Amino acid sequence: MGYTYEDIRLAADRQRAYFRTGATLDVKWRIAQLKRLKVGVKAYEQAFEDALRQDLGRSAVEGYLCDILPTITEIDETIGGLKRWARPECHFSGLMCFPSMVTKVYKMPYGVTLIISPFNFPILLTLGVLTASLAGGNTAVIKTSSKSAACTAVLKRFVAELFPPEYVTLIDGGHDVADMCLAQRFDKIFYTGSPAVGKHVLAAAAQHLTPVALELGGETGNWCVVRKDADLKDAARKVAFFKLCNAGQICININQVAVAEEVADEFVRELKAAFAEQIGGDALANESYPKLISEGAYSRCAALADQYRDRIVAGGVGDRTQCRYAPTVLYPIGIDDPIVQQELFCPLLPIVPFKDAEADRLMSIIAEREHPLALYLFTRNRRWARRVMSSQQYGGGCINEVCVHLMVKGVPFNGTGHSGMGAYHGEWGFREFTHPSTVLMGSTRFNLPLREHPYTGKAGKLKLKILKLLSR
């Protein structure tokens, strides 16, 4: 259906009225809704798998591994921890507040939230974020991507079946519908997508001073660095797996690999062998290899590959009718080439040689660019790797591994700067969708006149002495 501004305004207003009834405040009730969400996900597994195959060419294994399983895991973690997370914190008020000795911090929901989800992981990045919003005691208006039309259709059916629209509702449509959503006054916005659109979301939210969480891919992409002492076969195997996943359409995927020039040729050989072992000699003939989301995405990928045609050492072919482009290795690429100064979001993989002795200089160059969402290091020098990871600015990452930091329970996920703001997953998602409200429990007895006038004369001097004594 087509939406009007008035339709969306009414949807938000209904949710605001429902939120003000207090129905979402009870933690046991929230847990019941999350359990309902999990049962729904399990019931819709096949429908989600079919829709992911239709939109992105995903196999059942990849669809379950990357979208459905992490969603269930996220819901389970939230159900298990919500009572503890939502419990008010109790603090000693301090002598300055005597005789009021107890202060509590309540974790209060924002209210009506807007979730704008992307096409690349349409189930996880819709329902995973919804989990955090509902755990916080909010209502939710969801705007899904028009690019992943099959998943959006299934999600719309799914949400309507599970929840009343005054609690959770899903709105589909293009950028015009998203803009109509952003024109409303929401209490919290969570957007996943590109930095360019992230700026647009922030600008719209500023009109209502709405707090925003952004999960962005990063303006110049995520780096993987392979030192000369790395296990090249292991590194190549993991890099190949990750670049094949969703045809490179992943916000934390490897945008480019910087490889010590002393081992660069060997790494490229191992990488080509790893691609062949995992997907076969002809990726386009393998039914489990995903596709690009649209013909436009295919055209951008193919055009960029053509610009570097003389440096393609593997891949470089595609099938426009199926929007599938083979994993493509470009080597050698200079660190200042335009292709490594943009987020690719496709199966192209530039290889950037560097002198291993100049690894710190390489990291300085990376640090001067926009902060990535992920950083991956392959080296046996754990001391150097830990130093880098504790000094660079990035969202998250791995040493001698790729992507699985995303799956660790109890830790935050998101970026910084051009790769995002805020954080979520588990308790961090609950925090993102709640506001900590501090409340001091006042006393009506034993109140001293220390803070009250007069501030002059003997009384003032005595009060000043006491205040200075308290500050020691």
Separation between Cα atoms, residue 414 and residue 432, nearest integer Å: 11
For 159-172, what is the mean pLDDT? Answer: 98
Separation between Cα atoms, residue 410 and residue 425, nearest integer Å: 7
**Per-residue confidence (pLDDT) for residue 193, from 0 to 100:** 96
**Residue 51 pLDDT grade (very low, low, confident, very high; cuts 50, 70, 90):** very high
**Per-residue confidence (pLDDT) for residue 82, from 0 to 100:** 98
| Phi and psi at residue 398, to the nearest 5° | -145, 155
Q: Is the pLDDT at 392 greater than 70, yes or no? A: yes
Separation between Cα atoms, residue 123 and residue 58, nearest integer Å: 13
Separation between Cα atoms, residue 47 and residue 43, nearest integer Å: 9
**Per-residue confidence (pLDDT) for residue 1, from 0 to 100:** 62
**Residue 415 pLDDT grade (very low, low, confident, very high; cuts 50, 70, 90):** very high
Q: Is the pLDDT at 2 greater than 90, yes or no? A: no
**Per-residue confidence (pLDDT) for residue 451, from 0 to 100:** 87
**Per-residue confidence (pLDDT) for residue 275, from 0 to 100:** 98
Bigger pLDDT: 36 or 217? 36
For 416-420, what is the mean pLDDT? Answer: 96
Task: Give 277-283 contacts, CB < 8 A, sequence gap 24+.
Answer: 278/237, 278/240, 278/241, 278/244, 279/244, 279/327, 282/326, 283/244, 283/315, 283/324, 283/326, 283/327
Q: Which residues are catalytic?
A: 215, 251
Q: Is the pLDDT at 52 greater than 80, yes or no? A: yes
**Per-residue confidence (pLDDT) for residue 471, from 0 to 100:** 81
**pLDDT tens-digit readout, 268-326:** 999 999 999 999 999 999 999 999 999 999 999 999 999 999 999 999 999 999 999 99
**Which domains does the chain show, CATH number per domain?**
5-217+420-435 (3.40.605.10), 223-407 (3.40.309.10), 442-470 (no CATH)
DSSP string, 343-398: ---SSEEEEEEE-GGGHHHHHHHHHHSPPPSEEEEE-S-HHHHHHHHTTS--SEEE
**pLDDT tens-digit readout, 77-107:** 999 999 999 999 999 998 888 899 999 999 9
**Residue 419 pLDDT grade (very low, low, confident, very high; cuts 50, 70, 90):** very high
**Per-residue confidence (pLDDT) for residue 217, from 0 to 100:** 86
Separation between Cα atoms, residue 92 and residue 72, nearest integer Å: 38
Question: What are the start-end ranges of the H helices in 136-259?
Answer: 149-162, 175-182, 195-206, 232-244
- Please state, rounded to an integer, the average pLDDT across all residues of the chain: 97
Hey, is 439 helix, strand or coil?
strand
Q: Is the pLDDT at 110 greater than 70, yes or no? A: yes
For 50-62, what is the mean pLDDT? Answer: 98
Exposure of 437 by Cβ count < 10 A (0-12 exposed, 13-18 middle, 19+ buried)? Answer: exposed
User: pLDDT > 90: what percent of the chain?
Assistant: 95
Rounded to two decimals, the pTM is: 0.96
**Residue 16 pLDDT grade (very low, low, confident, very high; cuts 50, 70, 90):** very high
Burial 338-356 (b: 16+ CB within 10 A, else e): ebbeebbbbbbbbbbbbeb
Separation between Cα atoms, residue 340 and residue 333, nearest integer Å: 8
For 145-149, what is the mean pLDDT? Answer: 97
For 395-416, what is the mean pLDDT? Answer: 96
